[in-house]
Amino acid sequence: MNLFYQKNITPSASEIIFEKEESRHIHKVLRKEEGAILYITDGLGHLYTTEITNSNPKKCIVKINEVVLKEPLSYSLHMAVAPTKLNDRFEWFLEKATEIGISEITPIICDHSERKVVKKERYEKIMISAMKQSLSCYLPKLNNAISFSDFISLPHGENFKGIAHCEPEGAKIKLKDSFSKNNSYLLLIGPEGDFSANEIERATAAQMIEVSLGNRRLRTETAAIAACHTFAVING
């Protein structure tokens, strides 16, 4: 099964017209002809079962036969993660987190961050590809990059709010022991140099729980994926 993504469609639509690049892929690469069934999502949970009415490399048209709203995650997970120095590592995190299951991602620029510029458009393309690959109908929300200071000053309504860091001080608890099922979560993961002491202090002052991901020191992207998988397992 191939899953296609179309952003600007609604369940009330009767047909979908693909742009040239996707039309060429459908017609030339997949060799889909009139009458073939295509599955499409809007990234908002809807799965559209469609039938090709015009297979053309410049403009492929399908009619919508059925629309189903798929079951979302049983929990809401927002992760604020510092972009890594090597961009491909952060992109790997985005890809795998989308496949595992995540609701929202915010790149945060911290005191020790070496990368302070992010390519949101490229990141979104990676997440769309991962959503299609994993046959999910939900595209996680990707926010604009924001400084740690500005992010911590925002109101956050999640039931669980945590910050993972490597400092030995503090009353840290294991992530797997810190939450219950069917909940909403926010977790902060720092850069290669970890969060600064000031950032940890500000987070705890904002009622964030200090958590540990284990006894080993993990890379930023590894820590983020380990945490994402922990949430998925606990809530699975």
In this structure, which amino acid lies at residue 232? A
CA distance 12 to 101: 27
pTM of the predicted structure, to 2 decimals: 0.91
CATH of 3-69, picked from 3.40.50.150, 2.40.240.20, 1.10.599.10, 2.60.40.10, is: 2.40.240.20
Structure confidence by residue, pLDDT tens digits, 100-153: 999 999 999 999 998 888 889 999 999 999 999 999 999 999 999 999 999 999
- CB neighbours of 34 closer than 8 A, spacing ≥ 6? 52, 53, 54, 55
How far is it, in rounded angstroms, from Cα 185 to Cα 105? 12
pLDDT greater at residue 182 or residue 220: 220
Instruction: Check if the beta carbon of residue 191 is closer than 8 Å to that of residue 113.
Output: yes
Place 183 in a pLDDT band, splitting at 50, 70 and 90: confident
Confidence at 176, pLDDT banded by 50, 70, 90: confident
Whether the pLDDT of residue 87 is over 90: the answer is yes
The whole-number pLDDT of residue 170 equals 63
- Average pLDDT of the chain, as a whole number: 92
Mean pLDDT, residues 18-44 taken together: 92
- Any idea which residue has 């009458």 for tokens? 35
Q: How confident is the model at residue 182 (pLDDT cuts 50, 70, 90)?
A: low
The pLDDT assigned to 129 comes to: 96
Q: Distance of CA 211 to CAs 57, 166, 168, 205, 231, Å?
A: 52, 9, 11, 15, 13
Q: At what angle do helices 87-100 and 120-133 cross, to 10 degrees?
A: 40
pLDDT for 28 equals: 87
The single residue listed with the structure tokens 């369940």 is: 11
DSSP string of 156-195, one letter each residue? ---SEEEEE---S-S--EEGGGS--SS-EEEEEE--TT--
- Vertex 210 angle, CA 228 and 224, to 5°: 20
Each domain of the chain, given as residue ranges in start order, spans 3-69, 76-234
Task: Assign domain 76-234 to its CATH architecture.
Answer: 3-Layer(aba) Sandwich (3.40)
